[in-house]
Amino acid sequence: MTTQPETAEAPGTKPSGFAATDVLVNEFDGGPDTVQRALSTPEELQPHTELGLKDDEYDRIRQILGRRPTASELAMYSIMWSEHCSYKSSKVHLRQFGEKVPQNTRMLAGIGENAGVVQISDDIAVTFKVESHNHPSFVEPYQGAATGVGGIVRDILAMGARPIAVMDPLRFGAADHPDTARVLPGVVSGIGGYGNCLGLPNIGGEIVFDPTYQGNPLVNALSIGVLPVERLQHKEAAGIGNVVVLLGARTGRDGIGGVSVLASATFVEGVEQRRPSVQVGDPFMEKLLIESCLELYDAGLVAGIQDLGGAGLTCALTETAAAAGTGMRVWLERVPLREASMSPTEILASESQERMLLIVTPENLEQVLAVADKWGVWATAIGEVTPHQGDGSPGRLVISWNDHVVVDVPPGSLADDGPVYARPIREPADLILLQADKAETLPRPQTGDELRETLLRMAASPNLCDKSWVTEQYDRYVLGNTVLAQPEDSGVLRIDEQSGLGVALSVDGNGRFARLDPYEGAKLALAEAYRNVAVTGAEPVAVTDCLNFGSPEDPAVMWQFAEAVRGLADGCQQLGTPVTGGNVSFYNQTGAAAIHPTPVVGVLGVFDNVARRIPMGFPQTTDGDQLFLLGETHSELSGSEWAWVTHGHLGGRPPKVDLVAEQRLGYLMARASMAGHVAAAHDLSDGGLAQVLVESCLRYNVGASITLPQDDNSAFVHLFSESAGRALVAIPRGHDQAFAALAAEYGVACTPVGVTTAEPVLDVQGEFSVQLDEVREAWTGTLPRLFGGPAELANRHGDPEHAADPTAPAGRDDADEVLETAAAGAAMESAAPIEADGIPAAAVAEVKDEVRSVELEITEPVAAPEPAAAAEPAAAADGQSAAEPATPEQPED
């Protein structure tokens, strides 16, 4: 026995990729480090610094326990007190979301829950959340991104909801950098591979390229689910004597150290050695897990539930017990393992995916195990809920391993009582000079030919170009309820078939704006996501966020974070859209170089009927629609896409945001949508009016004749300014006067700027004219040129025939056509007959029954065949069937 742990691997052990855990795995005298042994060896040295714990944090643990922690306890504290799990550097600032929360009667669950829940009708609620999986996606792009999707989906599932869609805000380094070519295809494949296998549509997101994310991409994932109001679930481990059930996949060594090493530290050399810390996903198991949980909810068999994601079993056990103030007794040897040699420390730290922790009454246990067996997932009773202590204080979490007690802690000390730091904050030293270097002074195009060349150059730039290379790898229309999806401003989903009730979702962020002014940058991210939802005609009602920043130990980063949180809290209070939950991701930097502060904001909107949603593309009409620019344009070019693409410039101050004007614009669009005044609408943001014209014209190959306003602004400013609070709308003839009157009623500036045309030409009167074919060639060619053409894309989809001849149409069958028709809105049956986007109403009726049959194949469970691996749940470590847990007597230390 040694008093100073060695770093060398012990004979017969398998490295986890987490060096300090490998140390703890080495055990003592052939057995685990028990509580009894900890009491008898108080001065034994422990590798707390290798686990990320500071000396004072370690001393506090010893004070809490009244002894040194066991190896398993030390690992648990290191995980739960990590930045990722404890929010120890951000809590003091995040409190503003509660202090400034606007009054909102829709909120059913908010910050502190697995995901926020918002009521959208008398009996229906939706839950949504965005989280990060940044560092794992750099180390192992495919699995990092895939398990990011799986984890956020389980957060939604844990609230009692059926997941119905995902979104993916992504940020990579320079588009032409070799490492971006390594990371991006893997990330996209991981997101598509996992989400497509789950049968969830990917309805939107972002793809941004910037050198600041080189070596530290941002892979944020959002999911949304729907549930009956009365089916809302909670995580509390209430009910003394209730059974603790582990449901889902078996536990392996993947993901050990994920939250405390990958997510709570900066990157240094040798990150490729951390691949074992990245979780490995199995979307087919997740699909079975979803269906089994939903059946358990509907049968009323679950008293509490928590998903296992970051921190794995450690987090699930401590959070459920702490939330109820109860104790818990757990027999760790019952946990089904993929590798029998795993130590108790590894089992507790593992972040193996596709697992849930259930709290079940004893009388319901048999039914729960039967449902799990039906769906072919593991279900094992691993413990029970124990009472408060005799003095009325919360109960204790006691965990044993083969009759040895290896953990005996107050669960609240892990889940709720971690360290909280008011870290030093200091404005970045370069900020004053950076803000003084305004883009408004840069050379700009003057002639019509120069404006034309700039429009084409901007359209072909990586951040503004066509993203179909990515989005075509995702299924955007599975389940038949997608009404709008990428490249629309917001994803729109039908929730209720009878009424047409639906939701709109958008995610946005701009790291350059936040770098120039994090307070205004956060408000601008909120404003753009809010506006994206509003221009579809939906009412924005709630917010989720993913706050991506550098190291909290850098005072400049903490200043950026504090300002961004303040801006977002102030903005949400003003707009009346509460923050329902989200995620903080720190340590996004390689060495000393931090990313731009990147608050990503998701906004949820509600439709009473999705039949009135407004698409972004100009529709094909014989008369041509009137085009109006809503909002005011100013010479605001700092932080703009034009400044970056043309000059590689970042400086000045970002556009001013007027949230009152944003709110008025939202009211106008909702009212105009109800009245049927608007044929198309697109918000102005990156690239300004020029980019909106490109995207709206190319959507359905409809031209436009534009007459720019004659005012103090130049043609260049009108085309490329990124002033906030603006949108371009197409108004059918005969509706223009009514719409203008409505805009005046809401105090929204409404300027006529042209008409749509049947001729496929974008004509800016007095400046330039360009054929849409030329614009399309510039817009669509960038990503295939950077990351591979149709042949490579076809190979990734397993279509070798199309790969051999990229000009030939890919293999199709009737089912493809049915789903494609549903994708365009053909499955919609709400209210009066409508034309789905590009599909006549007659076609809708023709495919209705066929689409329903496809949906049934996806959503209706059938008698589950008995899989070879899951028909008989494998024996637990003690030889007992997973479906028949034993109830051994209380073991001694």
> Which positions are annotated as active-site residues?
84, 133
Assess contact for 48 and 74: CB atoms under 8 A.
Answer: yes
Assess contact for 34 and 332: CB atoms under 8 A.
Answer: no
Phi, psi of 170 (to 5 degrees): -125, 145
Q: Which two tokens stand for residue 546?
A: 């993913």
Closest CA to 620 of 708, 679, 557, 562: 679
Secondary structure class of 627 (helix, strand, coil)? strand
**With 0-12 CB in 10 A as exposed, 13-18 as middle and 19+ as buried, what is 181?**
middle
Assess contact for 256 and 351: CB atoms under 8 A.
Answer: yes
Cα–Cα dist 390/374, whole Å: 41
Q: Measuring CA to CA, how many Å separate 848 from each of 199, 478, 491, 839?
A: 20, 15, 22, 13
Quote the DSSP letter at residue 260: I
Quote the DSSP letter at residue 831: S
User: At how many degrees (to 10) do helices 688-700 and 448-459 cross?
Assistant: 70
Phi, psi of 288 (to 5 degrees): -65, -40
Q: Where are the alpha helices (DSSP H) in 764-892?
A: 772-780, 782-787, 790-796, 800-804, 814-821, 841-859
Assess contact for 520 and 652: CB atoms under 8 A.
Answer: no
User: Which residue's entry shows tokens 């730039």?
Assistant: 461
Cα–Cα dist 752/708, whole Å: 9
| Chain-centroid distance, C-alpha 443 | 39
Closest CA to 25 of 348, 364, 460, 474: 348
Q: Which two tokens stand for residue 833?
A: 């007959």
| Chain-centroid distance, C-alpha 400 | 36
Please give the span between the terminal C-alpha atoms of the chain, in angstroms, as a whole number.
Answer: 19
Quote the DSSP letter at residue 759: S
Which residues, other chains included, contact 102 with Cβ-Cβ below 8 Å and sequence gap of 6+?
572, 573, 575, 576, 577, 578
Strands 116-119 and 107-109: antiparallel
Cα–Cα dist 555/574, whole Å: 28
Cα–Cα dist 808/738, whole Å: 48
Listed in order, strand segments (DSSP E) in 281-410 are 304-308, 327-331, 355-360, 378-386, 397-401, 404-409
Cα–Cα dist 476/485, whole Å: 7
Cα–Cα dist 324/314, whole Å: 16
Phi-psi region of 676 (alpha: psi -120 to 50; beta: other; left: phi over 0): left
Question: What is the DSSP code string of 120-187?
Answer: -SSSEEEEEEEEE-HHHHHHSHHHHHHHHHHHHHHHHHHTTPEEEEEEEEEEES-TTSHHHHHHHHHH
Give CB contacts under 8 A, 24+ apart, made by 177-184: 177/211, 177/214, 179/214, 179/215, 180/209, 180/214, 181/786, 181/787, 182/141, 183/137, 183/138, 183/141, 183/217, 184/141, 184/217, 184/787
| N residues, the chain | 893
Sign of torsion over alpha carbons 763, 709, 720, 170: negative
